[in-house]
């Protein structure tokens, strides 16, 4: 595809981006050449971590149903999730090598071949989406290191909204950098109350450069973080339900509808 200016993203220099990844969820099936519909299955299993979703009317809708079990009952019993990701890597069965070590002592329970579906290394990531969340819900788009080296484990949280934070005034919109186990990064994460309705369509985005990451909502800059993971990362897209939070009588599932996801790479930089 030809390069073009990408005016939604601010920068000191004028960057020209080339679209390298796009899914507008046309048709009636998830494109599994782009998305793997399991949440960190190496710490659990593909069966337990299988996403529930529908592709229809030009949207991917992830949902957590009431009869859905925990993705990892032995280690994370309070958490149910429907999730898709653009890569996967873990070690052999029984090893401690695997992406996103969310607690100490983890060992691989199901070994899988590595997947490199889409692993950007710098560029611009954007998504148009809306969420229907109860107090027990959360919706998020984040990037994690592919972890061909264990220290390449940082996280870029493009957006994260907990249902319990939603009020008439808006919602807390989480975004930033999380070090996880990367010693070169410092966690720099914020979740300010933003006057917007998460149930409406919005464009969430991040511009990731070698020096920094900028976070945007509907083209407006929320914050600029002056550090950057320097390795390939995969997209993580999900909706959660947490059993330790009450639902206040809500009778419908938490859901996250995604109109499209795009990834752009810098094609050229023009000095100003």
Q: Cα(133)–Cα(74) distance, rounded to whole angstroms?
A: 26
Residue predicted with more confidence, 5 or 162 = 162
- Looking at residue 163, the DSSP 8-state letter turns out to be G
Residue 4, pLDDT above cutoff 90: no
Least confident of 94-103, 180-189, 196-205, 254-263: 94-103
As a whole-number percent, the residues of the chain with pLDDT over 90 amount to 82
- Strand 4-5 and strand 14-23: the pairing is antiparallel
Task: Indicate the pLDDT class of residue 176, thresholds 50, 70 and 90.
Answer: very high
pLDDT attached to residue 248: 56
Q: Cα(95)–Cα(209) distance, rounded to whole angstroms?
A: 33
Least confident of 113-127, 198-212, 242-256: 242-256
Residue 11, pLDDT above cutoff 50: no
Q: Cα(176)–Cα(142) distance, rounded to whole angstroms?
A: 9
Q: Which of 171, 42, 33, 11 is nearest to 106 (CA)?
A: 42
pLDDT attached to residue 247: 62
Q: DSSP readout, 186-254? A: --EEE--EESS-TTS-EEEEEEE-SS-EEEEETTEEEEEES----S-EEEEEEEEEETTS--TT--S-E
Residue 183, pLDDT above cutoff 90: yes
Q: Where are the domains of the chain?
A: 13-270
pLDDT attached to residue 102: 85
Q: 86-122 as b/e, with b when 16 or more CB fall inside 10 Å? A: bbbbbeeeeeeebbbbeeeebebbbebeebebbbbeb
> Helix, strand or coil for residue 99?
coil
- The answer to whether 151 touches 144, Cβ cutoff 8 Å, is no
Report how far Cα 6 is from the mean position of its chain's Cα atoms.
21
Q: Which of 6, 19, 264 is nearest to 121 (CA)?
A: 264
Edge-to-edge strand ranges of the sheet holding 137-145: 79-85, 233-242, 137-145, 155-162, 174-178, 188-190
Per-residue pLDDT reduced to its tens digit, 28-70: 899 999 999 999 999 999 999 999 999 999 999 999 998 999 9
- What is the rounded average pLDDT for all residues in the chain? 91
Task: Indicate the pLDDT class of residue 118, thresholds 50, 70 and 90.
Answer: very high
pTM of the model: 0.91
Structure tokens at 12: 């000191």
What's the mean pLDDT in 252-265?
Answer: 95
Domain 13-270 in CATH 2.60.120.200: yes
- The answer to whether 153 touches 144, Cβ cutoff 8 Å, is yes
- The answer to whether 212 touches 226, Cβ cutoff 8 Å, is yes
pLDDT attached to residue 12: 34
């Amino acid at each position: 595809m030809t390069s073009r200016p990408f005016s939604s993203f601010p920068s000191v220099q004028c960057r020209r981006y080339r679209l390298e990844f796009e899914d507008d969820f046309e048709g009636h099936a998830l494109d599994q050449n782009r998305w793997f519909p399991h949440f960190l299955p190496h710490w659990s299993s593909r069966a337990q971590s299988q996403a529930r979703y529908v592709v229809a009317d030009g949207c991917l809708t992830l949902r957590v149903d009431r009869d859905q079990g925990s993705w990892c009952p032995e280690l994370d019993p309070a958490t149910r999730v429907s999730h898709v990701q653009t890569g996967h890597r873990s070690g052999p069965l029984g090893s401690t090598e695997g992406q996103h070590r969310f607690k100490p002592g983890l060992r691989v329970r199901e070994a899988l071949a590595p997947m490199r579906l889409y692993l950007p290394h710098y560029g611009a990531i954007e998504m148009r989406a809306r969420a229907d969340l109860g107090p027990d819900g959360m919706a998020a788009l984040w990037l994690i290191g592919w972890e061909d080296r264990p220290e390449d484990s940082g996280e870029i949280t493009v957006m994260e909204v907990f249902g319990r934070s939603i009020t008439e005034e808006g919602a807390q919109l989480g975004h930033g950098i999380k070090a996880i186990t990367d010693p070169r990064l410092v966690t720099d994460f914020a979740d300010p109350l933003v006057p917007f309705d998460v149930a409406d369509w919005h464009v969430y985005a991040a511009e990731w450069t070698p020096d920094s990451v900028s976070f945007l909502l509907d083209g407006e800059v929320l914050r600029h973080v002056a550090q950057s993971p320097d390795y390939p990362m995969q997209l993580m897209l999900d909706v959660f339900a947490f059993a330790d939070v009450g639902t206040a009588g809500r009778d419908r599932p938490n859901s996250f509808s995604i109109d499209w996801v795009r990834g752009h790479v810098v094609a050229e930089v023009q000095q100003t």
